[in-house]
Structure 1
């Protein structure tokens, strides 16, 4: 599979268009960067940190979580397959949701559903709970990333990587720390319930921070929505 990926990467690289540095949209509009306030940026870094924490525990251990339950032995690969199937179209759906509800409302919804998906295996130990968890998790983690990166592009249309880099760092740091903590908790308890509750708790805290952004950085939210 790795070799196939390398072969497919060659034509993809050749067909990759050159970056547009004109600063003008396809409609002829001049693109202006509209940086968010420091408060908005700090809060959003916390939000994305929480997203990274919630993402990585399920991503790392989802197969083990399923296989660790006697009645679900042999179903771990099925759960991972369901995760991928629901993740594939997620960007399209969350873009549509963002257009209908507003980008920050869509992000809040994605966080809430994401937290629910993470905690489902704790609530019920049946195959249906495991598969529903995988489906909700796959559908939302891709959506969260796509929404946040779209947000960065709206604030910095001429150089979106400026904000994307900071956000990605915030998203990546917990992906180093969280699996280690989850592994210790699993070793101490013999199951992953505490790890999943911790991950879901971080995501729910991120939801509260999104509400704080809506209240305390409303000008940035209005600016964000006006650039859609």
Structure 2
């Protein structure tokens, strides 16, 4: 997941053009909810609606499992590219959010149209770029506005957006399956939903008044300096990449896996919404953890929890097993990102955005590697057990890496 930048709009004219009345209406709760809805659209619909719709596409015969895996991979490549681009550009944050939301609507619509693998691959790749860019600039703009409005504690609401979006699209797809819809009607329905949600928050995303603009040159200059790429940095980066690989097979194929293990059950389409609910709850709970806790200890526990969640689906492929697996795999999803970014800030201080960019690249590479490995192992073994075992092992290795970091580089005790 890419890291948020706190950005100032570069064009004073754009700030002056923003209606004063809209700014007055955008109080802290409105800003937080707008961020939640924006991330629900680009992540829950633009990025992860593909997961519950993939079984429908397989049933319709429009793609094979191998092709579905590659569509997911193109999306993750796009996400990686979008996150990398955000490391080097400093545009108007509001403009990027608005353009990205419109692009998400159009790219979701594109998946409902004829075109086959060539066109769909392009749309999924572009949707990955868009989701990363909107994630970065939505988070950056909303966090900055909440700080200016004196309500930074509302930031937790923003990051509930992806999980809630997953819940809505997952439950929606389940209803579509029950109604006998084809996948293209599902994409059209989610396009309409995205239009409604974007319209609801469009007026919230307006350029804010200039604040602390004089600080920008010194901050930019400080960011150009390089902090040392020491053993702690590389260990953190490697472990974070393992998280990208560890969750992505479940996040891509969970409904397909459940249908294969539990043919004919109505529960198969409900495990993905359970995963989304876990993501939303985990994001909220992460905001209640104080900064005094060692992030590496928390990451060790979260990686272990997610590894357990992934493994349960292999060992207990029952309704109860998949439900527990989905919940335990979803709870740490956003929380471990938050704590990993906090550790990056501890290590690199004012230069943390560079380390966060490196970590995001590692996370993205882990995501890219997951789906092709899963489909290759399915072709060889006939099931997903081997790929899920690999994912659980990767997460356990990440947990061990953070446990080793605590032992190798203990924190100085906090003086009261």
TM-score with structure 1 length normalisation?
0.81
Task: Could you tell me which runs of 5 or more consecutive residues in structure 2 were left unpaired when the two chains were aligned.
Answer: 1-192, 217-224
How far apart in 2 are the matches of 1:153 and 1:17? 27
- CA RMSD between the two structures: 2.8
Task: Check the 8 A contact 1:40/1:213 in 2, yes or no.
Answer: yes
Q: 1:99 to 1:164 in 2, by over 3 A?
A: same
How far apart in 2 are the matches of 1:76 and 1:20? 51
**2:305 is equivalent to residue 137 of structure 1:** no
Equivalent pairs counted in the alignment come to 213
How far apart in 1 are the matches of 2:250 and 2:378? 13
Q: Which residue of 1 aligns with 2:379?
A: 187
Q: Which residue of 2 aligns with 1:66?
A: 258
Specify the SS of the correspondent of 1:68.
Answer: helix
Q: Which residue of 1 aligns with 2:277?
A: 85
Q: 1:19 to 1:196 in 2, by over 3 A?
A: farther
Q: Which residue of 1 aligns with 2:313?
A: 121
Q: 1:127 to 1:96 in 2, by over 3 A?
A: same
**2:235 is equivalent to residue 43 of structure 1:** yes
**2:386 is equivalent to residue 170 of structure 1:** no
Specify the SS of the correspondent of 2:206.
Answer: helix
Q: 1:136 to 1:160 in 2, by over 3 A?
A: same
How far apart in 2 are the matches of 1:17 and 1:79? 44
List per-residue Cα deviations over 1:65-92 (Å, max 9, x = no partner): 1111135633232111111112113123
Q: 1:95 to 1:106 in 2, by over 3 A?
A: farther
Task: Check the 8 A contact 1:36/1:155 in 2, yes or no.
Answer: no
TM-score with structure 2 length normalisation?
0.47
Structure number with bigger Rg: 2
What pairs with 1:208-227 in structure 2 (closer than 5 Å)? Answer: 208-218=400-410, 221-222=411-412
Q: 1:132 to 1:17 in 2, by over 3 A?
A: farther
Task: Report 1 or 2 for greater relative contact order, CA contacts < 8 Å, sequence distance ≥ 6.
Answer: 1
Q: 1:64 to 1:12 in 2, by over 3 A?
A: farther
How far apart in 2 are the matches of 1:170 and 1:152? 14
Task: Could you tell me which runs of 5 or more consecutive residues in structure 1 were left unpaired when the two chains were aligned.
Answer: 24-32
Task: Check the 8 A contact 2:296/2:403 in 1, yes or no.
Answer: no
